[in-house]
Chains A and B, each alone.
Chain A
């Protein structure tokens, strides 16, 4: 057989069992992307096995073995199997293609129930048959067939998988007689010639993808590489023969896995029992014979292997230590479109912090739970703008249905929403918001806000009471409330509750061509025995209020609410209005302007260290830039389109206010919903309570003109 001078190093006296270093897998993320597309677009629930092409290369990087790699190109481009397209891939010499098969199941149960042993056996049988029928000489990569079982969960974008590299088991196992670096088994001339021949083999596109070959070294020390099918013609001459293969393994002491089936093949087909093999390895992309190994093995194969019906024993599941290398990989972050949309939106916001306003607190905006009372022109536009700030939790309250005139002005509704009587606004808006940005949490609540001056028929008292409680609970469980309804009186109860719960409330109201956007001040610090015991969703509000009452002396004046500058209580303003007043006709540009201001006002509040307690500021050309990252902290903004002008105003709370004064709040805290019902059913009750009635009577005796709306408490600059 093959014999050569061994210039140095002793061989082992008696052979030890030849142990092969296992193959390891590497699956590029692109493979999973491609498999997902394939399943979603083409295969559907079809579970038939999928042909794969794996790639490997000889060892090249110190200390690291090369892996069998799966890339997106490993999967067929449906429906034709483009095995030939591999040649067009870059770095062909770095990727020797080998055939494989994938069994992918649709459910986890089916994955666990796969008959693994059987599947592995099938592949082993194929290998043995390819050897027997002479196919390996034509295509040697058939010796490296591999198997993958997987379960792709396309809802959670996670993948479980296990590889197998089937190897036929020979009993008794092959023995290793010697294993040396190649340079120690060859003369210098032979080594040089072999290097050159290998480099040529590796550079030619015809041979680079052929991982098994015969090395023939003639008496002039010239080495040539021959394909396996040239075996017959190699027999004649007296050349030294080595059996070479691409070895992915980096160990000095063991050859890699591809040698296993190669030895079995050599013994079965060519009846050799003593084999000198060449583990071809590289450095920096070129043949390196110090790192490459040459070894001698003894192998004997029992005769029944050659019988046609023989079922060979097989090993090859990928393992780490002794445990199966069953892997689970989650790619939700890079594959789930919803998460990708969310992270792209986040990036946008981060850019603001990085480039424009480094002290901006985006997080406080993204985590703010917002309650929108009213989902009309204002409500839709506020919701849309809040999305831009990254708000993820929105609750929308409206009792109405989408009417035919709505979609053109109310930006969350489409034509479909107004058909067949019209969908419920709160629900339609919640759904359409999720269609824009799936990662957000929306809830639509169909509810009418109870209003003073609209007395309740007796049989409805119970349900109105429910609504009141529901509204209070909603306010308590959110961080910011937007008051975007279309009547004055519907703003009363939310104002009361927000004062009581000390929640940030932003109010927007529209005239025909004018608007008001304002934030309500903090609630009055009326302490009740129950304050400390009340169980709140937002515990901080209660604490702050207690602290404030301790520092009462010299405390800042509370900013006013929508009703503070009124001298009439909210009454029924809707009856006896003409049609256009009832529909609150406004210039179309107005609602978006007011809504945008409302949202930006919220952004400023949440970025202010004092939040709801932030003092009101007025824009002035003298004061210049505000100390806060987002600028001025106004109390009220009033504007009019007819002049294209806008101004900021400041108003403090009135002790006669029917919604937020201490009188009203303490009455509410003492009597709860009874007080509310009384206010709703008796229009003058609030005025009596706050002393407005008296005030009016006293004023009436002075014959002042109550149409003049200037108020002592308001300061305008």
Chain B
């Protein structure tokens, strides 16, 4: 790897694991009261690689509480009036909580991280794309709709093996290159890759990433001013 080479925006699987550890630790320091990122090692290796540190990052049970929505319920079973006994507490309608899970998975074909996520109601019913967009802060929906770097789509989660929402990775190396750009290979702090990556992706899906997550780790101050444009 020559020092004159310009970085192409990608990351190797081994470096992904290192960057993942950095993210886990930094998140714990900055957001101790939120759910934490955990590394889930995969039981079998994809791509036949012998890397022991193969797996993905998981952040689960992020809550979004919607104060306006009422719990919906299906048709009633029978006509007869039933109630529970006096020892049962009967609630008035409570707030509907939406729960989100986020996974960061390494893509072997694009050599970049990919975000997979899904949301569901408190009873487990999955949220549709529209319902998820409703939960997003307006700045995020704007980014998703207008930016040419972020494409939300359904894709098969390579480990869970079910369709999850994902931000398509085809443009990732391009904007990572811009974000940490101008760095020659020897100056690149690859362990902070995911912190920078998440600061961009987080904007698109409404994950509030405090600036402290990035500070002291990225060598180029311009990185924190990065804004996604058309």
* Residues of A near any B CB (own CB < 8 A): 17-22, 24-31, 33, 61, 63-64, 67, 69-70, 90, 112, 116, 160, 162, 167, 169-170, 173-174, 251, 254, 260, 284, 313, 315-317, 319-329, 331, 333-334, 340, 343, 347, 350-351, 354-355, 358
Judging by beta carbons under 8 Å apart, are B40 and A315 in contact? no
Judging by beta carbons under 8 Å apart, are A327 and B75 in contact? no
Contact with A along B125-153 (1 / 0, CB 8 A): 11010000000000000000000100101
In-complex Cβ contact of B148 among A170, A316, A354 (8 A): A354
In the complex where A343-B154, A354-B151 touch, is A315 in contact with B85 (Cβ < 8 A)? yes
Which residues of chain B in 14-40 are interfacial with respect to chain A, using CB atoms and an 8 Å cutoff? 32-33, 40
Judging by beta carbons under 8 Å apart, are B90 and A284 in contact? no
Check B168 for interface membership: any CB of A closer than 8 A.
Answer: yes
Tell me the bound Cα distance from A313 to B85 in angstroms.
Answer: 10
Tell me the bound Cα distance from A347 to B73 in angstroms.
Answer: 33
Instruction: Kindly report which residue of chain B lies nearest to residue A347, judged by CB atoms.
Output: B153
**B contact residues around A27 at 8 Å (CB):** 123-124
Which residues of chain B in 50-93 are interfacial with respect to chain A, using CB atoms and an 8 Å cutoff? 61, 63, 65, 71, 73-77, 82-93
Judging by beta carbons under 8 Å apart, are A326 and B87 in contact? no
Tell me the bound Cα distance from A327 to B74 in angstroms.
Answer: 6
- Known A20-B87, A343-B154; 20 more pairs at CB < 8 Å: A18-B87, A26-B122, A26-B124, A64-B65, A69-B124, A173-B85, A284-B33, A315-B84, A315-B85, A315-B88, A317-B84, A326-B75, A326-B77, A328-B74, A329-B125, A333-B163, A334-B126, A347-B154, A347-B168, A351-B170
Instruction: Kindly report which residue of chain A lies nearest to residue B92, judged by CB atoms.
Output: A321
Judging by beta carbons under 8 Å apart, are B162 and A323 in contact? no
**B contact residues around A169 at 8 Å (CB):** 85, 87
Contact with A along B142-183 (1 / 0, CB 8 A): 000000100101111000101100001011000000000000
Tell me the bound Cα distance from A24 to B87 in angstroms.
Answer: 16
Judging by beta carbons under 8 Å apart, are A324 and B82 in contact? yes
Judging by beta carbons under 8 Å apart, are A24 and B84 in contact? no
**B contact residues around A162 at 8 Å (CB):** 77
Tell me the bound Cα distance from A329 to B73 in angstroms.
Answer: 11
Judging by beta carbons under 8 Å apart, are A29 and B77 in contact? no
In-complex Cβ contact of B84 among A319, A320, A325, A350 (8 A): A319
Tell me the bound Cα distance from A333 to B163 in angstroms.
Answer: 9
Judging by beta carbons under 8 Å apart, are A324 and B87 in contact? no
Taking the closest CB of chain A, its distance from the CB of B178, in whole angstroms, is: 16
Judging by beta carbons under 8 Å apart, are A29 and B120 in contact? yes
Q: Which applies to chain B's interface (DSSP): helix, strand, loop or mixed?
A: loop
**A contact residues around B73 at 8 Å (CB):** 320, 323, 325-327
Taking the closest CB of chain B, its distance from the CB of A623, in whole angstroms, is: 28
Check B10 for interface membership: any CB of A closer than 8 A.
Answer: no
**A contact residues around B76 at 8 Å (CB):** 323-324, 326
Judging by beta carbons under 8 Å apart, are A358 and B148 in contact? yes
* Residues of B near any A CB (own CB < 8 A): 32-33, 40, 61, 63, 65, 71, 73-77, 82-93, 97, 120, 122-126, 128, 148, 151, 153-156, 160, 162-163, 168, 170-171
In-complex Cβ contact of A354 among B65, B90, B154, B168 (8 A): B168
Tell me the bound Cα distance from A188 to B142 in angstroms.
Answer: 52
Instruction: Kindly report which residue of chain A lies nearest to residue B41, judged by CB atoms.
Output: A90
Tell me the bound Cα distance from A569 to B21 in angstroms.
Answer: 78
Tell me the bound Cα distance from A251 to B90 in angstroms.
Answer: 13
In-complex Cβ contact of B162 among A33, A69, A254, A317 (8 A): A33
In-complex Cβ contact of A25 among B123, B154, B171 (8 A): B123
Q: List 5 A-B contacts (CB under 8 A).
A: A26-B122, A64-B65, A174-B87, A313-B85, A322-B82
Question: Could you say which of B86, B91, B124, B151 has the most chain A C-beta atoms within 10 Å of its C-beta?
Answer: B124
**A contact residues around B32 at 8 Å (CB):** 284
Taking the closest CB of chain A, its distance from the CB of B229, in whole angstroms, is: 15
Taking the closest CB of chain A, its distance from the CB of B166, in whole angstroms, is: 10
Judging by beta carbons under 8 Å apart, are B87 and A61 in contact? no
**A contact residues around B40 at 8 Å (CB):** 90
In the complex where A260-B87, A322-B90 touch, is A26 in contact with B65 (Cβ < 8 A)? no
Tell me the bound Cα distance from A459 to B229 in angstroms.
Answer: 72
Taking the closest CB of chain A, its distance from the CB of B164, in whole angstroms, is: 9
Tell me the bound Cα distance from A417 to B82 in angstroms.
Answer: 61
Tell me the bound Cα distance from A323 to B83 in angstroms.
Answer: 8
Instruction: Kindly report which residue of chain B lies nearest to residue A33, judged by CB atoms.
Output: B162
Judging by beta carbons under 8 Å apart, are A334 and B162 in contact? yes
Instruction: Kindly report which residue of chain A lies nearest to residue B121, judged by CB atoms.
Output: A26
**A contact residues around B65 at 8 Å (CB):** 63-64
Tell me the bound Cα distance from A350 to B230 in angstroms.
Answer: 18
**A contact residues around B63 at 8 Å (CB):** 61, 64
Taking the closest CB of chain A, its distance from the CB of B62, in whole angstroms, is: 10
Tell me the bound Cα distance from A67 to B123 in angstroms.
Answer: 8
Tell me the bound Cα distance from A483 to B19 in angstroms.
Answer: 58
In the complex where A61-B61, A64-B63 touch, is A25 in contact with B124 (Cβ < 8 A)? yes
Taking the closest CB of chain A, its distance from the CB of B33, in whole angstroms, is: 7
Judging by beta carbons under 8 Å apart, are A350 and B151 in contact? yes
In the complex where A350-B151, A351-B168, A351-B170 touch, is A29 in contact with B124 (Cβ < 8 A)? yes
Tell me the bound Cα distance from A31 to B120 in angstroms.
Answer: 14
**A contact residues around B160 at 8 Å (CB):** 30
Instruction: Kindly report which residue of chain B lies nearest to residue A160, judged by CB atoms.
Output: B74
Judging by beta carbons under 8 Å apart, are B84 and A327 in contact? no
Instruction: Kindly report which residue of chain A lies nearest to residue B33, judged by CB atoms.
Output: A284
Tell me the bound Cα distance from A326 to B125 in angstroms.
Answer: 13
Taking the closest CB of chain B, its distance from the CB of A342, in whole angstroms, is: 11
Instruction: Kindly report which residue of chain B lies nearest to residue A17, judged by CB atoms.
Output: B86
In-complex Cβ contact of B91 among A112, A321, A355 (8 A): A321
**A contact residues around B86 at 8 Å (CB):** 17, 19, 173
Taking the closest CB of chain A, its distance from the CB of B150, in whole angstroms, is: 10
Judging by beta carbons under 8 Å apart, are B170 and A354 in contact? yes
Tell me the bound Cα distance from A253 to B170 in angstroms.
Answer: 52
Taking the closest CB of chain A, its distance from the CB of B132, in whole angstroms, is: 13
Tell me the bound Cα distance from A319 to B84 in angstroms.
Answer: 9
Instruction: Kindly report which residue of chain B lies nearest to residue A358, judged by CB atoms.
Output: B148
**A contact residues around B155 at 8 Å (CB):** 347
In the complex where A90-B40, A319-B84 touch, is A24 in contact with B123 (Cβ < 8 A)? yes
Across the A-B interface, give the 10 residue pairs with the lowest CB-CB distance, nearest first. A27-B124, A19-B89, A173-B87, A334-B163, A26-B124, A315-B84, A328-B74, A329-B125, A326-B74, A21-B89
Taking the closest CB of chain A, its distance from the CB of B170, in whole angstroms, is: 6
**A contact residues around B92 at 8 Å (CB):** 321
Tell me the bound Cα distance from A240 to B34 in angstroms.
Answer: 36
Judging by beta carbons under 8 Å apart, are B126 and A331 in contact? yes
Instruction: Kindly report which residue of chain B lies nearest to residue A90, judged by CB atoms.
Output: B40
In the complex where A29-B124, A323-B76, A326-B77 touch, is A19 in contact with B88 (Cβ < 8 A)? yes
Instruction: Kindly report which residue of chain B lies nearest to residue A251, judged by CB atoms.
Output: B89
Taking the closest CB of chain A, its distance from the CB of B158, in whole angstroms, is: 14
Tell me the bound Cα distance from A24 to B96 in angstroms.
Answer: 13
Instruction: Kindly report which residue of chain A lies nearest to residue B155, judged by CB atoms.
Output: A347
Judging by beta carbons under 8 Å apart, are A320 and B126 in contact? no
**B contact residues around A30 at 8 Å (CB):** 160, 162
**B contact residues around A63 at 8 Å (CB):** 65
Tell me the bound Cα distance from A67 to B122 in angstroms.
Answer: 8
Judging by beta carbons under 8 Å apart, are A322 and B87 in contact? no
Judging by beta carbons under 8 Å apart, are B87 and A19 in contact? yes
Tell me the bound Cα distance from A358 to B86 in angstroms.
Answer: 63
**B contact residues around A67 at 8 Å (CB):** 122-123
Taking the closest CB of chain B, its distance from the CB of A518, in whole angstroms, is: 36
Taking the closest CB of chain A, its distance from the CB of B83, in whole angstroms, is: 5
Question: Could you say which of A70, A90, A112, A324 has the most chain B C-beta atoms within 10 Å of its C-beta?
Answer: A324
Judging by beta carbons under 8 Å apart, are B124 and A322 in contact? no
Judging by beta carbons under 8 Å apart, are A322 and B122 in contact? no
Tell me the bound Cα distance from A323 to B76 in angstroms.
Answer: 7
Judging by beta carbons under 8 Å apart, are A340 and B88 in contact? no
In-complex Cβ contact of B71 among A21, A317, A320, A324 (8 A): A320
Tell me the bound Cα distance from A321 to B88 in angstroms.
Answer: 11
**B contact residues around A25 at 8 Å (CB):** 123-124
In-complex Cβ contact of A327 among B82, B91, B125 (8 A): B125
Question: Could you say which of B88, B91, B97 has the most chain A C-beta atoms within 10 Å of its C-beta?
Answer: B88
